[in-house]
Amino acid sequence: MDRPVFKVALFAECVVLISGIGMAPPSGMGGSETSEYSNKYFSSKHIDITIESKTGKGIRIVDDNKLLSELIKDEKNDIFKQETDSLNEAIIFELLNNEYTSVDSLCSTFSMSRTSVLNIIKSIKNDLDNHNISLASKPYYGYYIKAEELDIQKYLYNLLISLPIKDRCRLYKIEEKEYAQFSEKVLTTIKDVIIDVNDSEIDTILVWLQIINVRTSHSKYQEVHIAAHKTSAQYDLLADKLIAYLDNDLDADLNNEKQWIIAILESFDHENDYYDNSLQIKDDFLNLIINTIKEKYDMDFSHDLELYTSMRQHLCALLKRGRLGIFSKNPISDQVKAYFPLPYEMAVEIAMVIYKEYNILINHDEISFLAVYFHLAMERKKELVNKKNILVVCPTGNSMSQLMVYNIQKKFGDYISDIKACSISDLENINYNAIDYVFTSFPIKSKVPVPIVYLPLEIKDTEAESIRNYLNKTNDGYSLIDLTGPDLFFNEIEAKNKESAIHLIINKIQEAISLPEEFETSVLERENLFTTEIDNYIAFPHPLKVMTNFTFMSITILKKPIIWNSKKVQIIMLGSIAEGQGEKMKKYYRQFSDLITNADYITNLISDPYYETLQAISLEIENKNKQKKI
């Protein structure tokens, strides 16, 4: 919430609690401005609260459902979390870039109590341990870091690359204008050598140069141990120029840093990948990827040459970045996850294949890049006409049946693989295993095991279009409601965190269906590798691998939201997909995307957490999708 709106909301809360009558608006805001500003905010959140303003009487809040107290509490928690994250980042910088850091100095710098500082240090220590960085302490001196210089720099990179420019500058302790000038200088210099460098790659080198600048400006800097390797003269010169832009007072030998900068720059140059055998993506690995998707999702991309070529080039660059331990930032990764959930899940499968084959664990941003390739492949697959085998039935002789065949081929030839004709009396002798539809202009009383399409002898354009759509129709599969019966819809669960929520939900699921013993362990393993939280208060946890021979989806509306990984979550869709269900899940994932990207649907489910609400939403999504097809 914007701070001015938050101030107005707090004020409005005081109006209700203290007097219940109209009072003057907050300082600096008129009554009508206060009402308009606040009402716009409440409306955007789909919260039934309004602020009224009357001349001579002031402002008053209308909150019949007593929703404001919960809203204030949530917004306070959000702001507290943002401030805590900023403090964590600042304290990490102090710990990593000073020889010793005492608790007292941190208390003084950040105006915090010893207890608060120690709690933050405890959470930081756990995170540092996972990145080969030890946080130790020495009596009378304070905390100090034990780690290789390159591990420290990689940790800082992964911290900074996800932050906006203003937060980076806050940590660098430089002005945004100064950073902009530095960025422009670096961009111009790099583009003189690497013409097709993209924004994400420029951002990578900018962050790394600033990290080197910060690290080499402190006495705690250690030389980076990187073996020199043969490189082109242009990259050697470019690295020299970039290093020269750094402004530090420490007389450090930056030759090893230069080697690291050269390695990063070379990872941007994709033209040489095809001449370096160590960077080649072998056909066996690409086939492993395609087969993994086919086995898990029942989708065959083996004939998609565009997917093969584009994926090969992308994976080559990705593995180069992965070997360096640096990953690109995708500014729309959350949107990709929300709007393309099925391609994103395919990309997660490939991330696990990469981890198994190369011991490189890629992050959410890199997974979202891979998801786009699968989304495009699915779109191309949609454009391919699924041709059908047609049986034309005509009771009036060979000439009339040939006329019908001719007319049908003329109108629908692109949709037909094979077409045959027969009389009504021959229907009993037909092998329908090779027939998709029966076309006829005459009533058929016999029962046939395939759909019958009745059409006039003269087919009008409007009728032809309707039949084309019918021929191009495939088995849509599961809708949003199909996988969630009333016994898998929960609204009474209260949880403290992600782990307790998963545990409680799985216990509830097992009251309705039987799950394998290791199901919960597999769900938690999946979460630890790649979190399933997305925007709009939703998470969709599921096992790391196929664990059931049936497909289901439970939906839980928690009584109160929890922090999942870094986002707030209140709706949890926990399920399992059986092997080979990919085609049937296409429709589900489309409707799932419609649900999670619609704020009204989320608000309705949270405010009215009942199965009937889910049914109504599912029906509305179904009808909207039908209208789109028409």
CA-to-CA distance for 546 and 515, rounded, in angstroms? Answer: 12
Looking at residue 54, its pLDDT comes to 66
Q: Which of 193-202, 338-347, 405-414, 574-583 has the highest mean pLDDT?
A: 338-347
Under 8 Å between Cβ of 436 and 388? yes
Tell me the average pLDDT across 150-174: 87
Looking at residue 244, its pLDDT comes to 81
Tell me the average pLDDT across 160-187: 87
Question: At residue 13, does pLDDT exceed 50?
Answer: no
Tell me the average pLDDT across 81-107: 82
275-383 has which fold? PTS-regulatory domain, PRD (1.10.1790)
Question: At residue 19, does pLDDT exceed 50?
Answer: no
Looking at residue 60, its pLDDT comes to 66
Question: At residue 438, does pLDDT exceed 60?
Answer: yes
Segment among 37-46, 175-184, 524-533 with least mean pLDDT: 37-46
Instruction: Tell which CATH architecture fits domain 486-629.
Output: 3-Layer(aba) Sandwich (3.40)
Q: What angle do CA 9, 15, 20 make, to 5 degrees?
A: 135
Tell me the average pLDDT across 147-168: 87
Q: Which of 33-47, 141-155, 214-228 has the highest mean pLDDT?
A: 141-155
534 contact partners, CB below 8 Å, separation of at least 6:
334, 337, 338, 540, 567, 596
| Concatenated DSSP letters of 266-285 | HHH--GGGGG-GGG---HHH
What's the whole-number average pLDDT of the chain?
80
Domains in the chain: boundaries: 3-66, 275-383, 388-471, 486-629
Segment among 1-5, 241-245, 485-489, 520-524 with least mean pLDDT: 1-5
474-513 pLDDT per residue, tens: 545 788 888 998 999 999 899 999 999 999 999 999 999 9
346-390 pLDDT per residue, tens: 999 999 999 999 888 898 999 999 999 999 998 887 766 567 889
Domains 275-383 and 388-471 share a fold: no
CATH of 388-471, one of 3.30.300.30, 3.40.50.2300, 3.40.50.720, 3.90.550.10: 3.40.50.2300
Segment among 54-68, 227-241, 313-327 with least mean pLDDT: 54-68
Looking at residue 540, its pLDDT comes to 93
117-127 pLDDT per residue, tens: 888 888 888 88
Please report the beta strands in 452-596, taking only residues with DSSP state E, as ranges in sequence order: 452-454, 489-490, 533-534, 538-539, 552-563, 568-576
Output 509-515 pairs: Cβ under 8 A, ≥24 positions apart.
509/552, 509/554, 509/574, 511/487, 512/485, 512/487, 512/488, 513/488, 513/550, 513/552, 515/547, 515/548, 515/576
